[in-house]
């Protein structure tokens, strides 16, 4: 069995940039309400965001052995996505690894474990998405995988899938769906911009549409 796959096919930067235009919540809606990771996976500071191809890794719960080699295999712009057992009570990533990521051009780190050195991460401005801050360390003893499909936050992520995150959490877009998702996102955003503009002018086309649904379902208004 191979544990570490050295490389994977990355989406073109044009595709990544097309997806990066949109907020994760828009991408999630545009692809049919799919792809959202467990909402407990959040940025360590408000305002952090990212978009890029996933470099995937998995570690045994409470261990971070594979993370060093994963960073070593990264290319600029990659998002390091580490599945580590859905465990907020240990932090296997902190200031040193964040600096290592920055030196290699890794654009963000996403995990279903805790992380530490929260104040330092905030000062660095490196986007880290996790189950929260926890100083308790991990071991470096057990083999996991690199660049194989992983399950994290209730989603399957394959190397090269596009992941995007902001204050709302993280969403995955399949590489092969990215073009279509970008288009649908664009359409959704244009629609929403119109609604917002209409609201500012005192109209709201959404309301009459919802009232129609309400009436159709038997809703009764007081006189």
3-state SS, residue 197 = helix
* Token duo for residue 116: 């530490």
Part of the chain binding a copy of itself (CB under 8 A), chosen from 14-22, 74-82, 190-198: 190-198
**Burial letters 156-176, b for 16+ CB under 10 A, else e:** ebbbbbbbbbbebbbbbbbbe
What part of residues 153-182 is at the interface with a copy of itself (CB under 8 A)?
A: 154-156, 166-169, 171
* Token duo for residue 67: 């993370």
CA distance 220 to 114: 49
Binding mask 72-111 for a copy of itself (x = CB under 8 A): x------------xxxxxxx--xxx--xx-xxx-------
The answer to whether 139 contacts a copy of itself (rule: CB under 8 A) is: yes
The answer to whether 21 contacts a copy of itself (rule: CB under 8 A) is: no
Task: Tell me how far, at minimum, the Cβ of 217 lies from a copy of itself, in Å.
Answer: 5
Closest CB to a copy of itself among residues 12, 32 = 32
CA 10 to the chain's CA centroid: 16
- Answer yes or no: are the C-beta atoms of 144 and 59 closer than 8 Å: yes
CA distance 104 to 85: 26
Among the listed residues 60, 77, 179, 186, the single contact to a copy of itself using CB under 8 A: 60
Among the listed residues 62, 92, 127, 159, the single contact to a copy of itself using CB under 8 A: 62
Part of the chain binding a copy of itself (CB under 8 A), chosen from 9-17, 18-26, 74-82: 18-26
Among the listed residues 17, 105, 125, 141, the single contact to a copy of itself using CB under 8 A: 141
Question: Residue 9's closest CA among 132, 184, 189, 174?
Answer: 174
Among the listed residues 9, 76, 190, 221, the single contact to a copy of itself using CB under 8 A: 221
The answer to whether 186 contacts a copy of itself (rule: CB under 8 A) is: no
CA distance 101 to 98: 5
Return all residues near 217 (Cβ < 8 A) that are at least 6 apart: none
What part of residues 196-215 is at the interface with a copy of itself (CB under 8 A)?
A: 196, 199-200, 202, 204, 206-207, 210-211, 213-214
């Amino acid at each position: 069995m191979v544990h570490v796959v050295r490389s994977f096919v990355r989406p073109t930067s044009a595709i990544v940039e097309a997806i990066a235009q949109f907020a994760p919540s828009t991408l999630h809606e545009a692809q049919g309400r799919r792809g959202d990771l467990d909402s407990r996976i959040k940025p360590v500071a408000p305002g952090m965001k990212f978009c890029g191809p996933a470099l995937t890794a998995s570690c045994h719960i409470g261990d971070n052995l594979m993370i060093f080699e994963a960073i070593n295999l990264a290319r600029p712009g990659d998002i390091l996505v580490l599945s580590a057992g859905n465990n907020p009570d240990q932090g296997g990533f902190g200031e040193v690894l964040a600096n290592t990521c920055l030196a290699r051009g890794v654009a963000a780190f996403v995990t279903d474990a805790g992380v530490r050195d929260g104040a330092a991460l905030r000062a660095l401005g490196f986007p880290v998405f996790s189950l929260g801050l926890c100083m308790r360390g991990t071991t470096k003893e057990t083999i996991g995988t690199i660049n194989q499909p992983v399950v994290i936050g209730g989603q399957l992520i394959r190397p090269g899938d596009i992941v995007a995150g902001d204050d709302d959490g993280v969403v995955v877009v399949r590489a092969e769906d990215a073009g279509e998702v970008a288009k649908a996102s664009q359409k959704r955003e244009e629609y929403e911009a119109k609604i917002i503009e209409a609201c500012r002018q005192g109209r709201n086309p959404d309301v009459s549409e919802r009232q129609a649904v309400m009436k159709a379902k038997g809703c009764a208004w007081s006189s």
